[in-house]
Amino acid sequence: MKRRGIIATISCLALLILSVVIFSSSKEAKQEQPLSTSRATTVAETKQTEPETTTKKEVNHDNDTHSILTGKWISKDIAKNRLVAVMFNNVPEACPQAGISKADIIYEVPIEGFVPRLMGIMQDYKELSQIGSVRSCRLCFAQLAMEYDAIYLHYGQSEYALSTLNSSAIDNLSGLESVGNSVYYRRNDRYAPHNAYASADGIAQGAKIKGYSTKIAKDYTKHFKFASDEAEIVLKKGDNASYVAPGFSVNSPYFEYNKKKDNYTRYQYGSKQIDENNGHVLTCRNIILQNVNYSYFGNGYSQNYYMVGSGSGKFITGGKAIDITWQKDSESSITRYYKSNGKEITLNQGKTWICIIPSDLTSHVDIS
């Protein structure tokens, strides 16, 4: 009897232990099941949403076209605007200039006393209420404006440019003509001659008075060739060009290459050059240094640049520089730039700065 009692007790204990094990396993299984399901759902959701965060969204360019000045996409409405060429004052009293960041191509040419003056070529200007200050024309600038079939804005001119300005070859709006009061106004916070400014409304009114079209010609010939979308021109055999100084002593301009942004920042008079309207620092993707012979006009101090002809220069982009040649066949024809193999250069998409280097100052150029 005693032995049977012991066996019964053992059996009861075994059953009790088995029940506890089964219960614990069941409880653990119930606790793990939601966790396992939750993890599976999270992985599945991640796989579904991941492509949406990594796939580049396609941009619709149905209402856009490539800019004739930068090669980048712009609206078709802006692309219909006729180009304007603005004679920007560039002495310290006139800086910072207003509206200059809207220029997609800028020419820099030393004039009397080798003080560099700027001319900006722009197409997207219709929202500007302040452009300038605007200064007087020189013959070389008129010849360059003609290359773009641009409406040329200037406040007066050198006597040596009058015959070209009075010809039918160029549409221009001078502040010294009767139309000047419609195009230009003077600011009170700067003194003459550094306070004459134009506006988009003034340009439109002046063009209407003169009978100039403000729409680009259907047969307009592009000035430059640009790299295709998402392509890049790499001057593999070029010299290092992280620093570019054209050698102008008055404003001491230079450009510094920003590798991260792949563009050049513009400096002059000891600091970054900015636009007064918006505070934007001027940058460009391409730089062209064009060496040009010159003599002096009859007054003995105004330079006569021989823009028609040919010469040498430099093409700079992406932190590299190569030798080029240039050629311009007539006063109104387009200046073309060529590599050493005779092929025309292709620019990277973006803004371009062109410095006209007097032939006897080429040794002052610093590229490193």
pTM of the model: 0.84
Pairing of strands 73-75, 64-66: antiparallel
Q: In sequence order, what are the beta bridge partners of 357?
A: 291
Amino acid, res. 340: S
- Dihedral sign from CA coordinates of 292, 100, 148, 66: positive
Q: Given the structure tokens 């050493």, which residue do they identify?
A: 340
pLDDT tens per residue across all 368 residues of the chain: 444 444 444 444 444 444 443 344 443 333 333 323 333 333 333 333 333 334 445 677 778 999 999 999 999 999 999 999 999 999 999 999 999 999 999 999 999 999 999 999 999 999 999 999 999 999 999 999 999 999 999 999 999 999 999 999 999 999 999 999 999 999 999 999 999 999 999 999 999 999 999 999 999 988 999 999 989 999 999 999 999 999 999 999 999 999 999 999 999 999 999 999 999 999 999 999 999 999 999 999 999 999 999 999 999 999 999 999 999 999 889 999 999 999 999 999 999 999 999 999 999 999 99
Specify the pLDDT at position 83: 98
Q: Which residue has tokens 């020189």?
A: 138
Q: 137, 87 in Cβ contact below 8 A?
A: yes
Sheet with strand 196-198: strands edge to edge? 131-132, 196-198, 184-186
Own/partner pairs, 337-346, CB within 8 angstroms, 24+ separation: 337/288, 337/290, 337/313, 339/315, 344/225, 345/225, 345/315, 346/225, 346/226, 346/227, 346/233
- Work out the number of other CB atoms within 10 angstroms of the CB of residue 43: 10
Beta bridge partners of 351: none
